[in-house]
């Protein structure tokens, strides 16, 4: 059975010569395209265990159930996004010239 390759990405793999021979023998035995056998084997390999979430995922809670829906609003409040300028921070040089110097 040929798959619709329009919805697939092309890739290149490198095989040891012995593995290539075994794969070609399997192609002849099953009378199926090599690409189909490779896709099937890769799918079986990656699907053998359930996907694990990254360490720390879900470990933090803001206490709010609507954070994702309010992301733009929250970022704008913090000075990010929303088209506004970020909060102004004085550089050390600017801060030093505006601060009165104490004399001891």
pLDDT in tens, 69-87: 888 888 888 888 655 555 5
- pLDDT tens string 9-38: 999 999 999 999 999 999 999 999 999 999
pTM as predicted: 0.46
Tell which wins on pLDDT, 33 or 63. 33
Tell which wins on pLDDT, 52 or 104. 52
In the predicted structure, residue 8 carries a pLDDT above the cut 70: yes
Are the C-beta atoms of residues 23 and 37 closer than 8 Å to each other?
A: yes
Six-digit token string for 25? 């023998």
Is 59 strand, coil or helix?
coil
Can you give the pLDDT at residue 37? Answer: 97
Six-digit token string for 88? 């102004």
What does the radius of gyration of the chain's CA atoms come to, in whole angstroms? 29
């Amino acid at each position: 059975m040929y798959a619709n390759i329009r919805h697939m990405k092309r890739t290149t793999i490198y095989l040891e010569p012995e593995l290539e021979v075994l794969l070609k023998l399997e192609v002849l035995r099953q009378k199926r395209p090599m690409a189909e056998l490779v896709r099937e084997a890769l799918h079986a390999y990656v699907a053998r265990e359930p996907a694990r979430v990254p360490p720390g995922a879900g470990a933090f809670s803001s206490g709010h159930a609507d954070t994702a829906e309010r992301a733009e609003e929250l970022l704008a409040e913090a000075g990010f996004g929303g088209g506004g300028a970020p909060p102004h921070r004085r550089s050390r040089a600017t801060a030093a010239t505006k601060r009165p110097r104490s004399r001891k």
